[in-house]
Amino acid sequence: MKKHFDIFKLEDMILHPQEYAKAKKPLAAVVFDDGYRDFIDYAMPVLSELNTKASMYIITDAASKGIPPWTYILDYTFLHSGKLKVDYDLSALPQELQVSGWNNTNERIAYGKILKPVLKSFSHTERNEFLNQVSDSFNDVNLPSDLFMTWKDIKEVFENGIEIGSHTVSHPLLGTISDETILKTELRDSGLEIEKNIGKFPLAISYPVGSYNDKVKLLSQAAGYSMGLAVNQRSYDSDVHDRFAIPRIELYNEGMFKTKMRIKEVIFKINHLLGRSA
């Protein structure tokens, strides 16, 4: 990326665009979500070596209590359980996913991968109720500890030039929450917890799984944020995009060729033409 882009902190570029107008290369920002501890082990050394700034958006319950986001818990559960049969209510699922057992571990893992995107379409309440049933049924799984940076770790990376933003309290899909009290808690309380621990209220809220709507944007602004980050797999255009719906290009654990195609938006354009999500 450094060969082809001038890389600066996202927050600086959004709030002070005039200072970057004379950049010789296209502008880019490197951002991370969640606050996993491996950021310190793998990302920080590379960022330091290349003298590159970045931003990290923290799930405050993960930092304070070590609680992973539900997406991680679901993946880990289906990967590590020893059970091949479940006894929870399947009626909320599409017919093809109303499966109560599997022949082997590989079938169970494959089912979990299909289940996760379906749960993203549930309402906040429906999803939590279903996830509680999954947790009760797969009671042989113990989640790993020390997955996330502590507040001490977060303060240190902040003092080393990493911008710290919010990724909510508990990583819900904000656009699926109808209860305004819950939304305000997820948005405002996460920002206040970050302020308490690093001394600065965050500039940005990163919407978990890129889920937001007009209410989420309004409440994010009211909570004190200066911008809201979506996903959408597009480059940001200040003349087109709302500052509370800034698109980002999400990168995965893929080969370099496909990664470059994502950065250049080639994959987005292909998926758009085919009517598929990223």
pLDDT on residue 240: 86
Query: What's the average model confidence in pLDDT over 58-82?
Result: 96
pLDDT at 276 over 80: no
pLDDT on residue 245: 96
pLDDT on residue 186: 98
H-type helices in the chain, by residue range? Answer: 10-15, 38, 44-49, 60-65, 70-80, 105-119, 124-137, 151-159, 180-184, 190-198, 214-223, 256-263, 266-274
Q: Are 7 and 23 in contact (CB under 8 A)?
A: no
Burial of 135 (0-12, 13-18, 19+ CB in 10 A): middle
pTM value is 0.91
Poorest-pLDDT segment among 56-60, 103-107, 143-147, 164-168: 143-147
pLDDT on residue 274: 81
Above pLDDT 70, what percent of the chain? Answer: 99
Residues 6 or more apart whose Cβ sits within 8 Å of residue 98: 90, 91
The backbone region for 144, taken as left when phi is positive above 0, alpha when psi lies in -120 to 50, beta otherwise, is: beta
Token representation of residue 93: 């699922």
Higher-pLDDT residue of 4 and 204 is 204
The tens digit of pLDDT for each residue in 246-273 reads 999 988 888 999 988 998 888 888 887 8
Query: What's the average model confidence in pLDDT over 183-201?
Result: 98
pLDDT on residue 277: 64
pLDDT at 124 over 80: yes
The tens digit of pLDDT for each residue in 134-181 reads 999 999 999 998 999 999 999 999 999 999 999 999 999 999 999 999
> Cα separation of 65 and 246, whole Å?
29
Residues 6 or more apart whose Cβ sits within 8 Å of residue 193: 60, 63, 64, 169
Task: List the domain boundaries for the chain.
Answer: 29-67+148-274, 70-137
pLDDT at 238 over 80: yes
Mean pLDDT (the chain) is 94
The fold adopted by the segment(s) 29-67+148-274 is: TIM Barrel (3.20.20)
Burial of 207 (0-12, 13-18, 19+ CB in 10 A): buried
Token representation of residue 10: 């996202």
Nearest 5°: the CA angle 247, 1, 276 is: 40
SS3 231: strand
pLDDT on residue 278: 59
Nearest 5°: the CA angle 150, 179, 219 is: 65
pLDDT on residue 160: 95
